[in-house]
Every structure is written in C-alpha cells, then in structure tokens.
Amino acid sequence: MKLRSVEMTFIRRSPRAVQSLLAPCAIAITFSCAVVFTAQAAAPPFPGATPDYKAWIAARLPGNPEGLAQDAQGRLYASIATTGQIVRLDGKGGYDLIATVPNPELGAAGMTVGIEFDKDGQLYVAYMWHYTPEEEMDPLHPACRNAKDLYTGIYKVDVHTGVVRPFVTKRDGWPGCFPDDIAIDSASNLYVTDLTLSGIWKISRDGKYSLWSSHPLLEWAAAPYFSFPEGANDVVISKDEKSLYVVTDGNPGIVRVPINSDGSAGAAEWIVPNLTVLDGVDLDERGNIYVSEIYRDEISVFSPDGSKRIVIATGDTAPIENPTSLVYHNGTLCVANLGEGMKIVRQPRSVACISGFKRP
C-alpha cells in the first residue's frame, strides 16, 4: 500500500478550505484543535458523517504515538513508541512530558506500547525491550527467548511525580513475549495482550500472573493465509466487565472473550472476522465497537453484535495516518497516529479526534 501524508492530501484537495479552518474548537474533552475538517471538505460525500462532522489534530507529539488513554479528569495521555516518553495533551495543541519508560536509554532501545489507568489513577504501560521490525516479523520470534532481556514487561507510572516503577517484568520471571495493550477491571486486575505469544495475560493487583487465554482465535492463521506472525493486539473491557474485546493482526478481526463468573476466560468467539490488520479498539456507552485498520487509514464503528458497520474516518476525511489506539468519550473519538507504514516512517506524528459521526 502506498502511504501518503495526511496534510498533503487535504491541501491537495482543498487548500482554501483548509486554511479557512485553522481555528480552535471546543469539545467535551479538554483539547483544542489545530486544524478542523468538516464533512463538506470531503469528495465524494462521506456516508459516515452527520452534518456536524468534524475532524482535527488535537496535538502534535515529539514522535510516533502508539498507546492512548484518558484519566478521570478527561485528559489524554499518549506513549511514544520509539522513545518510551509518556506525554499528556495540554489542550492547546501541544503536550507535557510526564515520564520515560523505563528510562531514556531503555526507552530508545525498545518499544513502548499500550497504556491504561486503574481506578486509583496509576498509569500502567506495556514495554518491549530490544524490539526490531525484523524480530517482530520472524514467526519464531527470537526476541521472546532472549536471555538478556530483563526489562520487557509492565511498568507503573505516577503521573503526578513522573516516577516509573516496574510492576511485572522478565526480571521477575514473567515469561511474556510482546506485551502490547492493557485493560483493567474494577478490582485492578490487568488483562495484557501478548502480540507474538498470541494470548492474554491476567495480572492481579499484587503482581501474580497467569496466561489467562490462548484461544486459537487470538493466534495468527497458518501459512499462507496470515499477513503477519502476530496475534492479539489491542483490548478493551466491557462496561459490565463480562467480556474482553480484542482486535487481532495475523488473522484480523474482532474477538470477544467472555469473563466467567469465577474470573476465568470463556471460549473466544468472532464478532467480526476477515478484516485487515487492526491496531485499536474501544467501546461507547451503547456497546458499539470502534476499531482502527492501521494500513487502510480507516476507522469503523460496529454494532455490538458486529452485524452493522459504519466507516467514520479515512485518510480523506480526517487527519489520520496509520491509526492505532482509540479513546471514545461523550461522542468524540480520538486516535493515536503512529505514522509508521510498512516501508515509511514519518515523525513527529499526532493525536487526532473526530466527532459528529454516525453510530449504529
């Protein structure tokens, strides 16, 4: 796929319209907008938009963002994949540096991925040491068995002080491979997707861990049908805490994993199969499922049972480029623009938001 610059795409289509919309906007989440695009700027008309559709850049960041999370005050935080920096959007199109995971040297050596807050306001961060694209694409995943790796794991960040502490890492004996994303329940149990092991870990508040689910739907398909030797990617927990929704890569689709009454994992099931590589998922108050297809530059919302799909953003209707993690709040959906394609890496990238889209 040929990747393109989002800014260049919009300017090519309608430079005067773009220039006329360089103004801030007010929304429920406390961001301001550097650029706003409306549905009327798209050609042809955009079926997923209402007349109030808006899309804008909430902040430009110091590198390529991967994880995205919202605190109890409605502020957005992002992880910078290749540096380990954790930043908080300042609501004015910029950001404040909060911490670096695990530290600047190790952050630059690995990949910092998913982030999530617990009920006490502690931020948990997934980190993979000594990451390279070649290792990730190798079906044998040699990085998973690197005896020198003491650092891959989950870290806890105090966003008030910037202090970073290891929570569960390989130094503690945790046998995780590539922790990718985190969902947290009301009892502060962490559910951590493992991208290359292709499963979900459950980690209790006191750091006890188990491989909670390794269902085949979380794995990549057998050759020659898989596109990537990767499995479970992003994850979100339902409001009633009875289900996890997981998006997958090598056999791309939306998978629901029931949470049994005793806390164990039920049998996984497809909600939507046969998509392209996915890299973000979130739910709204109706149970609708939002997903990002990173190499299509596309974001869709599915009905809770997966029977209805509405495309709500593409690279031609919103400033998105290789969209990853998603956060939905009060009718606004925000996305981390990783800016990393199969062959092209652009930085710095951004967090973009959209509102006024249709829902099932």
State the pLDDT at residue 9: 29
Residue pair 356/340 in contact by the 8 Å Cβ criterion: no
Q: Please give the Cα distance from 314 to 322 (Å, whole number).
A: 10
Which residue pairs, CB below 8 angstroms and at least 24 apart, start in 204-211?
207/167, 207/168, 207/172, 209/168, 209/174
State the pLDDT at residue 348: 57
Of the candidates 198, 182, 200, which has an alpha carbon nearest to the alpha carbon of residue 190? 182
Residue 230 gets the label, from left (phi > 0), alpha (psi -120 to 50) or beta, of beta
State the pLDDT at residue 339: 82
Tokens of 259: 């949470």
Of the candidates 220, 194, 206, 217, which has an alpha carbon nearest to the alpha carbon of residue 266? 217
State the pLDDT at residue 34: 45
Residue pair 155/127 in contact by the 8 Å Cβ criterion: yes
Q: HSE of 112 in the Cβ direction (CA atoms, 13 Å)?
A: 33
Q: HSE of 27 in the Cβ direction (CA atoms, 13 Å)?
A: 30
Residue pair 321/18 in contact by the 8 Å Cβ criterion: no
Percentages (nearest 5) of helix, strand, coil residues in the chain:
10, 40, 50
Tokens of 341: 């394609």
Q: Phi and psi at residue 3, in whole multiples of 5°?
A: -85, 155
Residues ≥6 apart with Cβ < 8 Å to 288: 301, 302, 303, 304, 359, 360
Q: Please give the Cα distance from 54 to 38 (Å, whole number).
A: 5
Tokens of 186: 């009301």
All domains of the chain, ordered by start, with CATH?
Answer: 59-352 (2.120.10.30)
Residue pair 9/20 in contact by the 8 Å Cβ criterion: no
Of the candidates 223, 236, 228, which has an alpha carbon nearest to the alpha carbon of residue 198? 228
Chunked in runs of 10, what are the mean pLDDT values of the chain (360 residues)?
30 28 36 46 70 95 96 97 96 96 96 97 96 80 89 98 98 96 98 95 97 95 76 97 96 97 98 95 98 96 98 94 96 92 63 96
Q: Please give the Cα distance from 291 to 131 (Å, whole number).
A: 25
Does this model's pTM top 0.95? My answer is no
Sequence letter at residue 273: P
Residues, the chain, total?
360
Tokens of 188: 């502060």
State the pLDDT at residue 323: 95
Tokens of 358: 């249709």
> What is the residue-wise DSSP string for 159-187?
TTT--EEEEEEGGGT---S-EEEEEE-TT
State the pLDDT at residue 347: 56
Sequence letter at residue 139: P
